[in-house]
Structure 1
Amino acid sequence: MFTGIVESKGVIESIERNGKGAHVVIRTDSAFLKDRVRLGDSIATNGVCLTATALREDAYEADLSFESVNLTCFGFYSPGTEVNLELACTTHTRLGGHIMQGHVDGVGTVLENYRVDDAINIWIQAPQNLKHYIAMKGSIAVDGISLTVNEVRDCDFRLTLIPHTQQEVATSFRPGSKVNLEVDVLARYLERLLQANSSSSNNQSNSQVTLESLQKNGFF
């Protein structure tokens, strides 16, 4: 698991397609890797959980499956692309962001960004099938960054980056750019539980989370 608190930035040194997947080399600060990463460890790379298959002083290598290449922004990346990095949690990790799995749910598109004093507001369009997971003041991971949703309009949602976040992350949030989205895992499991409950009671499996369904199932 991860928390969405970016620990370091990296740069894609190379990315090579091999069959339906790909092999990637990520170059980063040696201090991020030294005495902290071993072969087989998980590293969130722009929000995608990758397994380190080879290590050197200033880089790690990883393999991407067909699904990872096609359902995340790695299908758009090229050498020189900057990425956000985070090591997997330990029992001593502070949960400064929110619980994340490194399993990207879809690719979003940055619609606009604009400055308000020292902060930057970002509008992102999510895929249609993710919109019901995104709630105002809820959490969402964007390129591996744990962020709070401040406004929602159908599939579009607004985030605010404080100055510290602007300095620490690699994502540029340029209009038109693509970003990896991971919705709150609690929302995903909650929907699944409600679907199972609805299916057992009236033989339907297409339920969605609504205020009425939450109240009916005793969540408030």
Structure 2
Amino acid sequence: MFTGIIEAMGQVQSIKAEGTNKHFTVSAPFTQELQVDQSVAHNGICLTVVDIAGETYTVTAIDETLQKTNLNALQVGDKVNLERCMSANGRFDGHIVQGHVDQVAVCESVTDENGSWVFTFRYDPSLGNVTVEKGSITVNGISLTVVNSQEDRFSVAIIPYTYEHTNLHQVKPGSTVNLEFDIIGKYVARLLSKN
């Protein structure tokens, strides 16, 4: 389980295809603390560490993950938001994040608010996911609060710290991001759809 509080940014060092899988080798400031079999969220996607070599580690994504997330768009040199699993004795600073991307969204606009930024994202509502005003949303693994919730789009307001310490500063209109909708909202929506 994760909280959506980004621990560090990593950088993609290499990408290797093997059948329908892709192996991503990433450098990160906490590589020396990792272990093989450990889960790390990459832009909100829970992936398992399969190898560690010096300052880099490798994770593998299967075809389903590649098709349902923005991993296929990653290139060598790109920055990724990283979060290790929450420890049982740690603070719960964000919200409940599983590391299971529900769908992708496209950035429609980025508005400079003279000290903060408002990002607006459009997503396909036919998949049954919903946002709630002032509810939680995870964008590229970042725990955020929804503003301006609509049926097929929402906005989030970003403070300078988040803008500088995550890869949101690279997101522009047309960029694809990973979304994980609020777990409680997903279960409520599912229950209501059965009535």
Deviations 1:39-67 (A, max 9, x none): 10000001000000011231110111111
Which residue does 2:86 correspond to in 1? 89
Moved more, 164-173 or 37-46: 164-173
Q: Does 1:80 align with 2:77?
A: yes
Which residue does 1:173 correspond to in 2? 171
Q: Distance in 1 between matches of 2:127 and 2:100?
A: 14
1:116: Cα distance to partner?
Answer: 1.0
Q: Does 1:154 align with 2:151?
A: yes
Query: Which structure is larger by alpha-carbon Rg, 1 or 2?
Result: 1
Q: Distance in 2 between matches of 1:132 and 1:182?
A: 9
Q: CA RMSD in A?
A: 1.4
- Quick one: which of 112, 129, 139 aligns to 2:126? 129
1:131: Cα distance to partner?
Answer: 6.4
Q: Counterparts of 1:102-117 in structure 2 under 5 Å?
A: 102-117=99-114
> Structure 1 length normalisation: TM-score?
0.84
Structure 2 unmatched ranges of 5 or more? none
Q: Distance in 1 between matches of 2:52 and 2:132?
A: 39
Which residue does 1:47 correspond to in 2? 44
Letter in 2 for 1:105: D
Deviations 1:82-141 (A, max 9, x none): 100000011122111100000001110001101112110101111223565211100000
- Quick one: which of 185, 188, 191 aligns to 1:190? 188
Structure 1 unmatched ranges of 5 or more? 199-220
1:195: Cα distance to partner?
Answer: 4.5
1:190: Cα distance to partner?
Answer: 2.2
Q: Distance in 1 between matches of 2:150 and 2:187?
A: 23
Q: Distance in 1 between matches of 2:119 and 2:127?
A: 18
Which residue does 1:13 correspond to in 2? 13
Q: Kindly, what percent of the aligned residue pairs are identical?
A: 34
Which residue does 1:22 correspond to in 2? 22
Q: Distance in 2 between matches of 1:127 and 1:33?
A: 36
SS of aligned partner of 2:149 = strand
CA contact (8 A) 1:43 1:50 kept: yes
SS of aligned partner of 2:35 = coil
CA contact (8 A) 2:20 2:63 kept: yes
Q: Distance in 2 between matches of 1:173 and 1:120?
A: 11
Moved more, 170-179 or 138-147: 170-179
> Structure 2 length normalisation: TM-score?
0.94
CA contact (8 A) 1:73 1:178 kept: yes
Deviations 1:149-207 (A, max 9, x none): 011233111100011111211232211100000001112222333445x3xxxxxxxxx
- Flag the 1:109–1:16 CA change in 2: closer, same or farther, 3 A: same
